[in-house]
Structure 1
Amino acid sequence: MNITSYYKCLIAFSLLIFITATAGAQTVAWDSTYRPGKYVELVKKFKDDPKSKKDIVFLGNSITAGTDWAKLLDLPQAKNRGISGDITFGVLDRLQDVIDGKPSKVFILIGINDISRNIPDSIILRNYKMMVASIRKGSKKTQIYFNTLLPVNSSFEKFKNHYGKDEHILYLNEEIRKFSAKNVTVVDLYPVFTDQDKHLRAELTKDGLHLIPAGYEVWSAFLKKSGFLN
């Protein structure tokens, strides 16, 4: 069963899944079908964009979408496949287009919006593993680079649904680091962007979640220094 078939079955069985919170009787709802407003438009744009086996694809949400990777890295083959607001289910739903292009490298950073939308860690982790397995199956020569999630900074008081959930970020990052045992290159961004209080460095963000150009420069320098672009 390919990604599309699996995903359609998942939606058919459950459009809205309810999880009972362990603390008290409160019920927390999460929705696997959520897609950002420009999702369909951007997916079409990505499909229409010419593809090459030399492409280096940056796949994720607004944090990925927030820069021109080709210009930042001085790599014309770098392709931005970030969609603001996207979640892991959205990435899975559009992953086949990336696979079909058989790029040389794929850098994945996704999950903070899942956390904000109360999608359980176990489901996010399962989706991560599905991404890796699907790329491996459909494009065997593509090198997979999985980024750890960035910290957030609640002092900006902009994205309250993303704050106060650091334990989920820490858990998922520990699980992502284990991917290195599965021949996936782990790009451990979290400590690069974390201050002494375990918050996103204030000088690198405009709102406690998204990066400013200085933040992308730090990211770029880290990728180059670590040899991930060679």
Structure 2
Amino acid sequence: MQKIFHKAMLVVAFILTGYTSSTFAQIVKWDSTHRPGKYKELVAKFKEEPKSKKDIVFLGNSITAGTDWAKLLNLPQARNRGISGDISFGVLERLQDVIDGKPAKIFILIGINDISRNIPDSVILRNYKTIISRIRKGSKKTQIYFNTLLPVNSAFDKFKNHYGKDEHILWLNDEIRQLAAKNVTIVDLYPIFTDENKHLKANLTKDGLHLIPAGYEVWAKFLQEAGYLK
């Protein structure tokens, strides 16, 4: 019933704002309630883990979940809060636990699964702003770092729902860069991982979406050289 109401409200929004038919097609075919299979289990696990105001939290989906940040960065206070398959609505649902810990820094990378599930760009951006607003309100001293989305590489032919949507990645990245005006530090990963054809560099991925250890080493080096971990 909630999903039907949600879609009905979006139809009204479509009529009132004059979206194009292609945008409308995207709007009516998405679900904010999707959660990965291990979502509840991992959320419960995260809640049980000790928290400190010195923590550096990495918050996101499988791309964040795919490495041991404490070991990679040689930072014992680094906490991995990535959940494979998560979307921005899932991050919002579990954000309070992160806020309650009052961490020193939060690095956020989320959105590629939203795109793959046809969640409208404007809704994803709204969720980004809500994430920032809630952190600001609940943990005023926490420094917020927002990562631009990584490109994908369709040559691997493994994640078809993520392919052919580069314009959404580019639009959201442009909007993420503008979040700097909200006193948010932008970690612009996109150009670092992009090849000459605007694809995720093949030597840094195992499947056109997720990174291999060499990819995380590139990421870590960028964070360290930019001074984001100080």
If the length of structure 1 is used for normalisation, what is the TM-score? 0.91
Given that 1:108 and 1:146 are in contact with CA atoms closer than 8 Å, whether structure 2 keeps it comes out as yes
Q: CA deviation at 1:14?
A: 3.0
Contact kept, 8 Å, 2:3 with 2:31, in 1: the verdict is no
Q: Tell whether 2:64 aligns with 1:72.
A: no
Distance in 2, Cα, partners of 1:49 & 1:229: 22
| CA apart distance, 1:22 | 1.9
Residues 92, 26 of structure 1: CA spacing in aligned structure 2 closer, same or farther, 3 A cutoff?
A: closer
The offset of 1:29, in angstroms, is: 1.0
Instruction: For 1:138 and 1:220, locate their aligned partners in 2 and report how far apart those are by CA, in whole Å.
Output: 28
Task: Give the 5 Å matches for 1:71-150.
Answer: 71-150=71-150
Contact 2:144 2:185 in 1 (8 A): yes
Change (3 A) 1:16 1:212: farther
Structure 1 runs not aligned, ≥5 long: 1-9
Measure, in 2, the Cα distance between the counterparts of 1:13 and 1:141.
Answer: 38
C-alpha distance in 2 between matches for 1:228 and 1:79: 15
CA distance in 2, matches of 1:98, 1:221: 25
- CA deviation string 1:30-79 (max 9, x = no partner): 00000000000000000000000000000000000000000000000000
Assess, with a 3 A threshold, how the Cα gap between structure 1 residues 97 and 16 changes in structure 2: closer, same or farther: farther
Matches within 5 A, 1:53-64: 53-64=53-64
How do 1:184-199 and structure 2 match up within 5 A?
A: 184-199=184-199
Structure 1 Cα separation of the partners of residues 221 and 32 of structure 2: 35
Deviation at 1:181, TM superposition (A): 1.2
Contact 1:17-1:29 within 8 A present in 2 as well: no
In 2, Cα distance between equivalents of 1:25 and 1:83: 29
Q: Which residue of 2 aligns with 1:6?
A: none
Answer yes or no: is 1:22 the counterpart of 2:14. no
Greater shift in the superposed pair: 101-110 or 25-34: 25-34
Q: How large is the RMSD of aligned CA atoms in angstroms?
A: 2.0
Task: Look up the SS of the partner of 1:30 in the other structure.
Answer: coil
Quickly say closer, same or farther: Cα 1:63–1:25, change in 2 above 3 A. closer
Question: Which of the two has greater helix per residue?
Answer: 2
**CA deviation map 1:76-102 (0-9, x unaligned):** 000000000000000000000000000
Letter paired with 2:146: F
Matching residue's letter, 1:48: E
Contact 1:106–1:144 (8 Å) recurs in 2: yes
Q: Is the 8 A contact 1:92 1:131 kept in 2?
A: yes
Given that residues 61 and 83 in structure 1 are in contact (C-alpha distance below 8 angstroms), is that contact kept between their aligned partners in structure 2? yes
